[in-house]
Amino acid sequence: MHEPEPSAAVPYYEDMAPGTGALPPRAWWPASDARRVGLGGAWRFRLSATAQAEDDSFARPGYDAARWDVLPVPSHWPLQGYGQPAYTNVRYPFPVDPPYVPTENPTGDHLRTFDLPDDWPGGAAVLRFEGVDSCARVWLNGTELGTFKGSRLPVEFEVGELLRPQQNVLAVRVHQWSSGSYLEDQDMWWLPGIFREVTLIERPEGAVTDFFVHCGYDHTTGTGTLRVDCEPGGTVTVPELGLDIPTGEPVIVPVEPWSAELPRLYDAELATEGERIPLRIGFRTVAVEDGVLKVNGRRIAFRGVNRHEFDPDHGRALDQETMRDDLLLMKQHNINAVRTSHYPPHPAFLDLCDELGMWVIDECDLETHGFEEVGWRGNPVADERWTPALLDRAARMVERDKNHPSVVMWSLGNECGTGAGLSAMASWIRERDPARPIHYEGDLSCADVDVYSRMYADHAESELIGRRAEPPLADAESDKRRRNMPFILCEYAHAMGNGPGGLAEYQRIFDTYERCQGGFVWEWIDHGLRRRTADGTAYFAYGGDFGEELHDGNFVCDGLLFPDRTPSPGLVEYKKVIEPVRIAGDVGRGQVTVTNRHDFADLSGLAFSWTYEVAGVAGDSGRFTVPLTGPGQSAVLDLPPMPRSPAEGEAWWTVRAVLAEDTAWAPAGHEVAWAQFPAAQRGPGGLGAADRVHGGAPHAPRLAEGGMVVLGPGTFDAATGALRYLAGAPLEAPRLDVWRAPTDNDRGMPWFPDSQLDRQWRESGLHRMRHRVVRVAVGGDTLTVTTRVAAAAADNALLTVYTWSAAGDRLHLDVAVTPEGEWRLPLPRLGVRMGLCPTLDSVEWYGGGPGEAYPDSRTAARVGRWRASVEELQTPYVRPQENGARPDVRWSELRRADGSGLRIEGAPAYWLTARPWSTEALDAARHTTDLVREETLWVHLDHALHGLGSASCGPLTLPGDRLEAAPAAFSFTFVPLEATWCVPPGVEQ
Ligand code: GAL
């Protein structure tokens, strides 16, 4: 047994060194003819509360671990019932006392025995760990192999001489906290464990130690260059190119290049005396030229996302299907780039990126953000004692991932401030791989990098940068360098809760300025952990749900996917905003212009078609023939003559671009881009003639017994003017409503009070408005109710006049709102809310859909006739908040199962929201399971909504999407669809 060195003052898990005993880092390859034994599966497991609670006798062969528990490997033990996960964003969950860690240091001893396959040849072999969080010490058959840190980076040990045919004992002690934890302060769950594979790999005599595929593409000649450096030397064959060349020797051959859009790979084989490795080679050249980032000579534009590895049940222990699912979902949503925030992903993910086509910024496993909390004192990147650990991390990333064409940039890490350690990493990387630019966001002077990268710069600043007109840096030299760099937003559009708003406005900037080469939405997926209530209902947990002493709540749920990988409305919006084909209609000329916004692909992979709809009813349809249209080019297509339609009403053209053939990521017919444009103008009040159900003769209001006023189908309380019955059914009267359950973006940033609309709204009482009835006036054919809507302690108000009239079976409401006094804040919403019978469960509407939309996130809504159940109208944000609005609704019909119900027409069109719980309940809920169906269906008919913005970590709602208090007038018509349209709950029919 190896004993710890007696002189070591600091134990291995606290020293700053990266580890001991490991082999030099090298490339990863998924397969070769050398044998492999996967060591995943059921391991014996023992958890201790401290690093030194147990001695290392468990590592000795013969140790009896029969009483230990069984744990699956790979996994994180807190997700298997041992201890708890914990979430912090920036703050370290332990004292900032580098390199020391708390005495309470959960430590998992992992043990398994294994036999070698019968045909195992003996000789050299390595034991490889793909990822262990955060520090491990390893023994094989009682001999210590070494220790390591660097959770998301691989490590290998030479083990050939220690192996036996049977009963090999592999023992791994894993500490949750180590000096490495100071370098791994990413915004995510703290989750220790052996969370990626452990593999034994045979290394026959003459096997490949390491290799580096250097592949380039010269767009001026259409040729590729290939040189494979390999230790030891061997040959490379590429049958499709007729190549059979020695390693180390360059060749130039005509090839088709690789790009994220056209991921052309060539099958190849690398052979040395002892090993044959299948390769997939992609030819491409990345360069920053004339201030622009180019691949194969062309400017590229990132339509990207930041991707953490996450699964709601397994944390960062992802299986291959999940990785592929992520990429398929991205491709299907027009996403072309991933920043691997904030650590190298599982290596198989990069193989999939090569295969399916994705630009990748590969980021090192490094973040020291928590030092900002202490004024950056002791920041490891500025303390040379840590530099070996930093260089170790850079090398383990670059060596592992250097052979992937999809990796187009190396990123030094995230949010580490500045320091010489970062410069040392950059120099090492540049020396080792001069063919890829370097990225790091945290240093405004851009000293070590090739691109100017920022996070959450707002629209106005991004635009300034786009014009290369940003405020200068103090140092003229650095300023000149930076001003001549391409610009990317490595994070933008914080997708927390309902949002992000303002995506389309960012895209306009990316499309306008050559320098702005796109960005990466923060982030891909909500990290909500699946948990169940006592009755077994699933929900997603976030920070604070595990009793953490420090935590950052639901800031961990800020993705475009819900934790179960269901796309959120934000992802649907992003897909539309970044669509790679722009379609614009010119009805006057009877033409459509399609613009190819790909960087490499022409439009031959897409089929274009049109449909003609009147009042939401599909009419004729047909196909376009599109001429060859290269990247950046446009084609003008002729619309057919306006089809004749049996229906009357609003007519719309819809033009769609779908995949012409099956691809690796979606079947033929998958929609890539679309546009809609009106063929004729709308009728008055937003309705075409056929959209309006005609009424009959006007009614006059009459006083009825019980202090009621009857007006057509409406029965009102004569004293308050409130509508009490509609066609005999009781209801909660429609009345002015300005409140919404604040979104995460309304809550804003804890560190920026001006962003906290929620707080300001509550301070001014918008969630507790009172309605004083000023006057109820019965006129010749109207009932007019004047109210003053205001909050306690405030002297500003919304003067609201409801004017009711009726004709035939139609009840009509005009609402006029006039603000009084000073209104400094925008209103959350402006409309009426009413309470109806909860059996009205199915909704049909003519307007924007099918999904949710808000003023600054509505690009993906198309006009049509849509249907949904009330349940389907709800968007299950992990922390419940305002959701579910449908825009531009001309009319909606809420029906019961028997077809009876209520039709609501709007003039102008309105925002429709219907929920089985009130805004108050939504506001109070912390998790989806807190929401319980009420005995009322709450229906919001809004004239206007305040935009979303992305102020949970980014810009506020843009001025044009703010809902300022201003005079407004809007109206609704209520039409009962059957006399028995609603029976109160509990009443037998
Ligand atoms: C950035 C950081 C991310 C994440 C994001 C907010 O500052 O790089 O890791 O914390 O903000 O969700």
770-816 per-position pLDDT tens digit: 999 999 999 999 999 999 999 999 999 999 999 999 999 999 999 99
Q: Can you state the angle between helices 459-466 and 503-512, rounded to 10 degrees?
A: 10
Nearest-angstrom CA–CA distance, 340 and 885: 33
Question: Which residue would you say has higher pLDDT here, 2 or 513?
Answer: 513
- Position 649 scores a pLDDT of 86
288-575: CATH architecture: Alpha-Beta Barrel (3.20)
Task: Name the closest-CA residue to atom 11, ligand 1.
Answer: 953
673-727 per-position pLDDT tens digit: 999 999 975 444 344 433 444 567 899 999 999 999 999 999 999 999 999 999 9
Integer CA distances (angstroms), 683 to 191, 678, 680, 690, 908, in order: 59, 12, 9, 10, 11
Tokens of 719: 């004293």
210-285: CATH architecture: Sandwich (2.60)
Kindly provide the b/e burial profile for residues 724-734, where b requires at least 16 CB atoms within 10 angstroms of the residue's own CB: bbbbebbbbbb
| Residue 488 near ligand 1, beta carbon < 6 Å | no
Strand-pair category, 516-521 with 487-492: parallel
Q: Of these residues, 415, 441, 573, 613, which one is catalytic?
A: 415
Determine contact, residues 832/941, Cβ cutoff 8 Å. yes
Helix, coil or strand: residue 510:
helix
- Position 644 scores a pLDDT of 73
Strand-pair category, 516-521 with 302-306: parallel
Nearest-angstrom CA–CA distance, 35 and 310: 30
726-780 per-position pLDDT tens digit: 999 999 999 999 999 999 999 999 999 999 999 999 999 999 999 999 999 999 9
Nearest-angstrom CA–CA distance, 879 and 556: 11
Q: Which CATH superfamily is domain 580-678 in?
A: Immunoglobulins (2.60.40.10)
H or E element, residue 785: strand 783-791
Nearest to 488 by CA among 416, 572, 571, 411: 411
Determine contact, residues 399/25, Cβ cutoff 8 Å. yes
H or E element, residue 744: helix 744-747
Q: Is 491 a catalytic residue?
A: yes
Task: Name the closest-CA residue to atom 9, ligand 1.
Answer: 187
| Residue 493 near ligand 1, beta carbon < 6 Å | no
Task: Name the closest-CA residue to atom 2, ligand 1.
Answer: 187
Nearest to 617 by CA among 807, 846, 788, 815: 846
CA dihedral for 298, 299, 301, 307, sign (positive or negative): positive
Among the CATH numbers 3.40.50.2000, 1.20.58.1030, 3.90.1150.10, 2.60.120.260, which is that of 7-202? 2.60.120.260
What is the Å distance from ligand 1's center to 465 Cα? 21
| Residue 489 near ligand 1, beta carbon < 6 Å | no
| Residue 522 near ligand 1, beta carbon < 6 Å | yes
Q: Do domains 210-285 and 288-575 have the same CATH topology?
A: no
Integer CA distances (angstroms), 2 to 6, 138, 146, 697, in order: 11, 11, 10, 98
- Position 8 scores a pLDDT of 54
Task: Name the closest-CA residue to atom 3, ligand 1.
Answer: 187
Q: Average of pLDDT values for 207-216?
A: 98
159-204 per-position pLDDT tens digit: 999 999 999 999 999 999 999 999 999 999 999 999 999 999 999 9
| Residue 184 near ligand 1, beta carbon < 6 Å | no
CB atoms within 10 A of CB 416: 30
What is the Å distance from ligand 1's center to 491 Cα? 8
Per domain, the residue ranges of the chain are 7-202, 210-285, 288-575, 580-678, 702-976
What is the Å distance from ligand 1's center to 896 Cα? 46
| Residue 490 near ligand 1, beta carbon < 6 Å | no
Q: What share of the chain is helix, strand, coil (3-state, %, to 5)?
A: 15, 35, 45
Beta bridge partners of 173: 109, 137
Helix, coil or strand: residue 730:
strand
| Residue 89 near ligand 1, beta carbon < 6 Å | yes
CB atoms within 10 A of CB 28: 20
Atom of ligand 1 at shortest distance to CA of 90?
10
Atom of ligand 1 at shortest distance to CA of 89?
10
Q: Of these residues, 275, 463, 491, 579, which one is catalytic?
A: 491
| Residue 185 near ligand 1, beta carbon < 6 Å | no
Q: Is 130 a catalytic residue?
A: no
- Position 643 scores a pLDDT of 82
Q: Average of pLDDT values for 852-876?
A: 98
- Position 6 scores a pLDDT of 44
| Residue 491 near ligand 1, beta carbon < 6 Å | yes
Q: pTM higher than 0.75 for the full model?
A: yes
Q: Can you state the angle between helices 387-401 and 420-432, rounded to 10 degrees?
A: 30
What is the Å distance from ligand 1's center to 846 Cα? 39
CATH number of 702-976: 2.70.98.10
What is the Å distance from ligand 1's center to 339 Cα? 13
593-632 per-position pLDDT tens digit: 999 999 999 999 999 999 999 999 888 999 999 999 999 9
